[in-house]
């Protein structure tokens, strides 16, 4: 009997020490038990021992019965099963450090939450090797009456959002959104801040999140990596448009009417990680069978689309990469985009500028979810987000800091053109470098690693 008690006690310590079991049990406790701290787990010891061994062990071994004691049952082998997905912690801080942390080994509170007391840190000379960690899927369920199935709690939905400079401020503002979605869906919802779209893409491809608030490029990259996303809504610009176009502009009357006319000409482009003033134009030309490395005479890099168009207006470049809604009044430089701002500031007049190439429409970055999500839940999320700008403008402004026109429904077909463009390997290009210009730099060779999507 003593050997049986020793084995039961050692198994108890291994199970509690595995960490995942104590965490799962703590979530299953009544609120009153949770409030009492990690020590509340101790009252479950007799129950677990009854489930594992059919009896309770005690700190004082009972007197041996007259008959020979039954042989101790062998330890149950850990159940095989797929490991639960890793928790998605708030990603790295703006400074680049990971925010995730674990209790220090000598932390008494952390030890209690793992089912241990500080005194248990000393090794038991008779202890057996630690058992493999127990996955949440193999954790002992809450006790139920015989024949009564244990109700399975719904898994939380996890959605990602770009955290900006302050993850804490982001979460304070987004908290009501998670609560409202939880009420609408009838299941837990978590909105998790990420420091970059690259981190969001990685989490989505690995299925550690159920969706998120993506930029257009980040959505295309994530969906190409997992083929698992469905866009639900996207933000409208203040002019009511849902999309923009990458464009190439030249001086009116210069004789440049198409890309073919740019042979031997100097083209001003934006930074290497810019979608609207570089990457989309290059990818679009490549998708049309045009090699940008030979289509232009020289390429000059500047800091923005505005700066590129200014070089064209001044005669320092023959053409420029920019972006535009291509809707609304032409005289005003259209309703939004690079030309709109420059016309409004009086720096250019549309009579002096001609659009010589444009991409398919690029719909603004969507809120997208896994395609496997229930259709009724997708519709509930869509309805909530469409009404968000009116119901919670502060939360809407944080989720959509650029456009300001509220969310509108979208579908996968809206992003077909973007997916085609993103399939091109822009980073493989070696563009012809142009002469140095004030406010500009000659194009350097393509970077070894792709830039962060914007």
Q: Give yes or no for a contact between 307 and 439, defined as CB atoms under 8 angstroms apart.
A: yes
Q: Which of 259, 264, 258 is nearest to 297 (CA)?
A: 264
Residues with Cβ within 8 Å of residue 23, at least 6 apart in sequence: 113, 136
CA pair distance 241, 244, nearest whole angstrom: 8
Secondary structure element (H or E) that encloses residue 313, with its range: helix 305-314
CA pair distance 123, 180, nearest whole angstrom: 48
- Return the pLDDT at 312: 97
Q: At 131, list the tokens.
A: 């058992």
Q: What order do you get walking across the sheet with 404-409 strand by strand?
A: 189-194, 157-162, 211-213, 367-370, 229-237, 404-409
Q: Give yes or no for a contact between 38 and 109, defined as CB atoms under 8 angstroms apart.
A: yes
DSSP conformation class of 317: -
Determine the 3-state secondary structure of 7 from DSSP.
helix
Determine the 3-state secondary structure of 190 from DSSP.
strand
CA pair distance 1, 166, nearest whole angstrom: 58
Q: At 245, list the tokens.
A: 């176009």
Determine the 3-state secondary structure of 158 from DSSP.
strand
Q: At what angle do helices 375-386 and 167-185 cross, to 10 degrees?
A: 130
From first to last of its 454 residues, what are the pLDDT tens digits of the chain?
444 444 444 444 444 444 433 333 333 333 334 344 443 344 444 444 444 444 444 444 444 444 444 444 444 443 443 333 333 322 333 333 333 333 333 332 222 222 222 333 333 434 333 333 333 333 444 445 556 565 567 789 999 999 877 888 888 888 999 999 999 999 999 999 999 999 999 999 999 999 999 999 899 999 999 999 999 999 999 899 999 999 999 999 999 999 999 999 999 999 988 888 999 999 999 999 999 999 999 999 999 999 999 999 999 999 999 999 999 999 999 999 999 999 999 999 999 999 999 999 999 999 999 999 999 999 999 999 999 999 999 889 888 888 889 999 999 999 988 888 888 888 888 888 866 544 444 343 333 233 333 3
Q: At what angle do helices 197-205 and 216-226 cross, to 10 degrees?
A: 20
Q: Is residue 231 exposed (0-12), middle (13-18) or buried (19+ Cβ within 10 Å)? A: buried
């Amino acid at each position: 009997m003593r050997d049986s008690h020793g084995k039961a006690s050692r198994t108890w310590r291994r199970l509690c020490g595995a960490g995942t079991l104590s965490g799962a049990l703590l979530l299953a406790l009544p609120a009153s038990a949770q409030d009492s701290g990690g020590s509340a787990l101790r009252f479950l010891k007799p129950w677990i021992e009854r489930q594992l061994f059919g009896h309770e062990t005690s700190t004082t071994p009972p007197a041996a019965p007259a008959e020979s004691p039954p042989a101790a049952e062998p330890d149950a082998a850990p159940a095989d099963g797929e490991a639960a997905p890793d928790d998605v912690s708030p990603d790295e801080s703006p400074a680049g450090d990971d925010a995730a942390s674990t209790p220090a080994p000598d932390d008494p509170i952390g030890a209690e939450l793992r089912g241990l007391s500080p005194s248990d840190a000393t090794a038991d000379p008779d202890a057996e090797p630690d058992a493999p960690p127990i996955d949440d899927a193999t954790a002992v369920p809450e006790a139920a009456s015989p024949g009564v199935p244990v109700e399975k709690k719904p898994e939380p939905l996890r959605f990602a959002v770009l955290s900006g400079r302050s993850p804490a401020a982001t979460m304070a503002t987004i908290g009501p959104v998670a609560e409202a979605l939880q009420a609408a869906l009838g299941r837990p919802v978590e909105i998790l801040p990420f420091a970059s779209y690259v981190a969001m893409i990685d989490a989505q491809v690995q299925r550690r999140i159920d969706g998120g608030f993506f930029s257009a490029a980040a959505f295309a990259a994530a969906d190409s990596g997992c083929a698992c996303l469905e866009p639900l809504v996207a933000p409208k610009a203040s002019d009511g448009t849902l999309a923009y176009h990458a464009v190439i502009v030249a001086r009116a009357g210069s004789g440049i009417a198409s890309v073919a006319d740019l042979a031997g000409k100097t083209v001003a482009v934006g930074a290497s990680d810019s979608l609207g003033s570089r990457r989309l134009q290059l990818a679009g030309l490549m998708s049309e069978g045009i090699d940008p490395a030979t289509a232009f005479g020289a390429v000059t890099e500047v800091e923005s689309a505005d700066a590129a168009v200014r070089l064209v207006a001044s005669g320092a470049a023959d053409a420029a990469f920019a972006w535009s809604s291509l809707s609304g009044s032409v005289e005003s430089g259209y309703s939004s985009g690079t030309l709109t701002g420059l016309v409004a500031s009086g720096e250019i007049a549309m009579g002096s500028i001609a659009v010589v190439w444009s991409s398919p429409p690029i719909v603004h970055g969507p809120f997208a979810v896994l395609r496997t999500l229930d259709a009724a839940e997708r519709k509930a999320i869509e309805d909530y987000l469409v009404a968000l700008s009116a119901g919670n403008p502060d939360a809407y402004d944080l989720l959509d800091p650029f456009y300001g026109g509220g969310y509108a429904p979208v579908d996968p077909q809206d992003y077909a053109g973007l997916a085609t463009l993103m399939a091109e390997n822009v980073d493989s290009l070696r563009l012809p470098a142009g002469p140095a210009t004030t406010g500009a730099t000659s194009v350097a060779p393509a970077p070894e690693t792709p830039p962060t999507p914007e």
